[in-house]
Chain A
Amino acid sequence: EAEVAQSPRYKITEKSQAVAFWCDPISGHATLYWYRQILGQGPELLVQFQDESVVDDSQLPKDRFSAERLKGVDSTLKIQPAELGDSAMYLCASSFLSGYQETQYFGPGTRLLVL
């Protein structure tokens, strides 16, 4: 069964350093999402792509976060510089947009710890 792939699974970094996360969605899925999940909370959307275009990045802290999906397939989320409050799980999800029947499929996440 096809799955959303993410790497790395775990990342430890020091504050002020740069970090990058990678996501490979399920083949054929045009829509890709990045979520941040703080411990004890539900996921919150950071950015949504439709193919290579950003559909919604209203919750993305653009002073330090950036996201790209250059060829409309895999995607990278970057944080520079990382801050202590960025420690969280970063989830990627993808969907084959099919109207109201759309289902988002989630990857295993990247757990980030900023020291």
Chain B
Amino acid sequence: AQTVTQSQPEMSVQEAETVTLSCTYDTSESDYYLFWYKQPPSRQMILVIRQEAYKQQNATENRFSVNFQKAAKSFSLKISDSQLGDAAMYFCAYRPNYGGSQGNLIFGKGTKLSVKP
């Protein structure tokens, strides 16, 4: 079975500092996508960053970057220069790619990030 594990239920970071959220996944597939979603309190979930498994280069989006270790099945999210608006639940998600037909998104349980001023 394909699973996504986020081992940190809660994390805290000082404003302007850097924080890393952990995610591991289990799959026997070789082609898949990985995502980090952000869910602010009482607001909709939005995509933060995406990584294709066939790409060795780590994805970056402004202050957000990932450390993708395919052999270790690890996909951590680094937030640099943390801002108060980064406070939210962060979900790691996995999606297999079956030869062009995509499977369903499988989410981890989430990490609640607090940002201290």
Binding site for B on A (CB under 8 A): 3-4, 40-45, 48, 56, 91, 93, 99-100, 102-104, 106-109
Binding site for A on B (CB under 8 A): 4, 33, 37, 42-47, 50, 52, 91, 93, 97, 100, 102, 104-105, 107-110
List, in ascending order, chain B residues with CB within 8 A of A42's CB: 4, 91, 93, 107-110
CB contacts between A and B, total, < 8 Å? 43
List, in ascending order, chain B residues with CB within 8 A of A56's CB: 104
Interface of A is mostly: loop
**In the complex the two chains form, is A106's CB within 8 Å of B45's CB?**
yes
Q: Which of B37, B52, B105, B110 contacts A100 (CB 8 A)?
A: B52
Q: Which of A4, A40, A45, A99 contacts B104 (CB 8 A)?
A: A45
Tell me the nearest residue of chain A to B6, going by C-beta. A42
> Bound state CA distance, A52 and B15, in angstroms?
46
List, in ascending order, chain B residues with CB within 8 A of A41's CB: 109-110
